[in-house]
Structure 1
Amino acid sequence: MKVLTFNIHKGFDWTSRRLTIRTLKKQLEIIHPDLVFLQEVVGENLKLEKSEPGWVENQFEFLADQLWSEFAYAKNAVYDQRHHGNVILSRFPILESKQIDISTNKLEQRGVLFAKIDHPKKNIDCYCVHLDLSHKGRKKQYRELSKILKQNSDSTTPLVLAGDFNDWNKKACEFLSNENQLTEIFKALTGQYAKTFPSIKPILSLDRIYTRNLNYHSCQVLDSKSWRSLSDHLALYMEVDL
């Protein structure tokens, strides 16, 4: 099973000037992951819809069209005439989904998108996250996230937790590994966290893929020229099976 997580920067490159959403779809089509976890996906922006050439009215529906039969979207940041949030795209049926608010301040609207996936072998619990920029806020969110996992997923269910953790100081794993018995794939397979930001010359490890009750085989930072030009982050990719 192929899994990918990516902060798509609202469909723009790292400069925030060049629209990349159509190129992103082509790159995703090449890899065609079974499960995709996306952050900063625009659900609506009425201003850019009128002013930006080539603008896509609804980014998650555009990306899912003809590639993934199932998707779930949850608004994180809501403003006048625009909103963006987290998305899970799935090749398998989504049995249920919900958004859980984990915001810690008025400036950063953050959430966890939960989706239960109907895999042919066994259900998979999926969590797509985008955490605070501040360490103080993230510490609160680690505790909240731990509670959410315990409340929604039993200890035997296969689980994927992925997204933009903004974890530049590498503290998330200490908490989530101890409290929820999660394995961070890149740390487990390569001995270090993947560097994903900024995309043009990554020096910070902000993004993560955690799993539980899955057999992991390989992982990769998608850092080719084509992928570096899509966002301010790099995408993470892994292959696992049940």
Structure 2
Amino acid sequence: MKKIAAVLILALLFLLGFSFSATVFSEEEIEMRVIQGDGDHSLIKIYTPTNIESIYLEIYHMESRFLAGIHLNYHTVEKSDESTKNVFLLNTGVLSGKKQIHFKLFPGTQREEIFRLRDLEVIEAAAEAAMILQESKGTQVEEMNRLKVMSFNIHHGRSRFGAYNINDVIKTIRDHEIDIVGLQEVDRNVYRSRFEDQIKKLSVELDMYYVYGPNIRILGAEYGNAILSKYPIEDFENVTLPGNRREKRGLLMSKIRVNGEEIRFLVTHLGLNREERKKQMHAIDQFVRFLGKRVVLVGDFNTTDSSIDFYDFKKYLIDAAEVFENQHQHTYDGIVFKSRIDYILTTQDFKTMHYEVLDTDISDHFPVIAHIELSE
């Protein structure tokens, strides 16, 4: 009897386990949407449950003609009130302008999902971005001409020697008359930075518009990237990049209107692990290619430009430091490690007129400045 009971229990557990697996499998929802950009630029977003870390996608034309098979091993993360989803990115450039496309998607399970391009929901890029009311009036600049842009890891408002000095950050931006700045390691309501809302303080003191992209939230405290601009920020989106669970990383993207001219200003702070950075760079690469033109990407990449993962960026982005052959000047001033890991990159429709690194102790990173203008 005991053996029979044991067998029955094992069978019941097996059936329960099978039933549970079947339920989870059936409740997995895969979605595809097209984010429509300017002209023919579009981005396909593939939404999956968070347990799916990679997918294989087959692309067909006219139902049967095989075009490509693509392994997507990197993703961003999007949160809503209802759920959290992994988001895999695919630029429509791979479709070569073809319309009658269908996809077979294999999300790491035995089944396949079939989607047709003509049936996908199309969302305008502007509607996809989150909007907030700016708390600062900002200063309108009357001419496009030359923009002064900056990338600055402010080390949560502490100097290289540990002194709290957010006012020195303000002074540096003001004294150099910066038009748009991408900031990393910005605190909001954190003990180590005296519970200040750092980006709001910077915005008020400098009379600039701002957006904030927190990547870490703990008990009301926040930490992340930010953008300050003398020009109106029309919309923005904060994307969670792939990486480890210990410290989330993000890409803060904004659309800024400069007297009728629209530019995209992006700031990021990449991870410390090489494999992590590789995935993050792949994700950023998809967004930059989607935007296509008038893009400025700045940030702390935590790697040198000699990294093989940097090569994709160099195919279509200009490194402001290289224009002036200043790529050997370090931007991180650590006690042991000194290197150039902070960058200002632009699409080729910008001309870099000047580049400099400010040698200062107000952070463990040096501020990086470039003067850029739109090419004719």
Normalising by the smaller structure, the TM-score range is 0.7 to 0.9
2:188 is equivalent to residue 43 of structure 1 = yes
The answer (yes or no) to whether the contact 1:199–1:231 under 8 Å persists in 2 is no
Alpha-carbon deviations, 1:103-157, whole Å to 9, x = none?
3111121000000000115100011000011111111111111112233x1x3x3
Q: Secondary structure at the match of 2:156?
A: helix
RMSD: 1.9
1:65 aligns with 2:214: no
Measured in 2, the distance between the counterparts of 1:125 and 1:168 equals 24
Secondary structure, counterpart of 1:175 in structure 2: helix
Instruction: Give the corresponding residue for 2:156.
Output: 10
2-structure distance, mates of 1:219, 1:18: 28
Q: 1:120 to 1:193 in 2, by over 3 A?
A: farther
Separation of aligned partners in 1, 2:368 and 2:305:
19
Q: 1:87 aligns with which of 208, 213, 226?
A: 226
Q: 2:171 aligns with which of 21, 26, 49?
A: 26
Between Structure 1 and Structure 2, whose CA radius of gyration is higher?
Answer: 2
Q: Matched residues in 1 for 2:334 and 2:209: separation?
A: 28
- Matched-pair identity in %: 28
TM-score of the superposed pair, with normalisation by structure 1: 0.87
Cross-structure match for 2:357:
221
Superposed displacement of residue 71, structure 1: 0.6
> What SS class does the counterpart of residue 136 from structure 1 fall into?
helix
Q: 2:313 is matched with which residue?
A: 176
Residue in structure 2 matched with residue 190 of structure 1 by the alignment? 325
Deviation of residue 170 (structure 1)?
Answer: 2.9
Please state whether the residue corresponding to 1:123 is helix, strand or coil. Answer: strand
User: How high is the TM-score relative to the length of structure 2?
Assistant: 0.57
- Distance of aligned partners of 1:20 and 1:60 in 2 relative to their CA distance in 1, 3 Å threshold: same
Matched residue, 2:364: 232
SS of the aligned residue for 1:65 comes to: helix
Output the CA distance in 1 between the equivalents of 2:329 and 2:235.
30
Report how many aligned residue pairs link the two structures. Answer: 226
Per-residue deviation, 1:200 = 7.1
Contact 2:170 2:205 in 1 (8 A): no
Aligned residue among 152, 162, 165 for 2:301: 165
Q: How does 1:199-214 map to 2 (within 5 A)?
A: 203-212=338-347, 213-214=349-350
Question: 269, 278, 288: which is aligned to 1:130?
Answer: 269
Q: Secondary structure at the match of 1:118?
A: strand
| Alpha-carbon contact 1:12-1:21 (below 8 Å) kept | yes
Higher strand share: 2
Alpha-carbon distance in 1 for matches of 2:181, 2:305: 25
| In 2: Cα distance, 1:138 partner to 1:48 partner | 27
- Aligned to 2:311, what secondary structure does the other structure show? helix
**Residue type matched to 2:231 in 1?**
F
- Does structure 1 retain, via aligned residues, the 8 Å contact 2:151–2:183? yes
Whether the 8 Å contact between 1:200 and 1:229 is mirrored in structure 2 is no
Q: Is the 8 A contact 1:13 1:230 kept in 2?
A: yes
Output one character per residue of 1:3-24: Cα deviation in whole Å (capped at 9) or x when no partner.
Answer: 1110000000123x31010121
Give structure 1 regions of 4+ aligned residues with deviation exceeding 3 angstroms. 199-202
Measured after TM superposition, the shift of residue 90 of structure 1 is: 0.6
Residue 102 and residue 18 in structure 1: after superposition, are their counterparts in 2 closer, same or farther (change >3 A)?
same
Report the Cα distance in structure 2 between the residues aligned to 1:193 and 1:109, rounded to whole angstroms: 29
- Given the alignment of the two structures, is residue 150 of structure 1 paired with residue 289 of structure 2, yes or no? yes
Offset of residue 202 of structure 1: 7.2
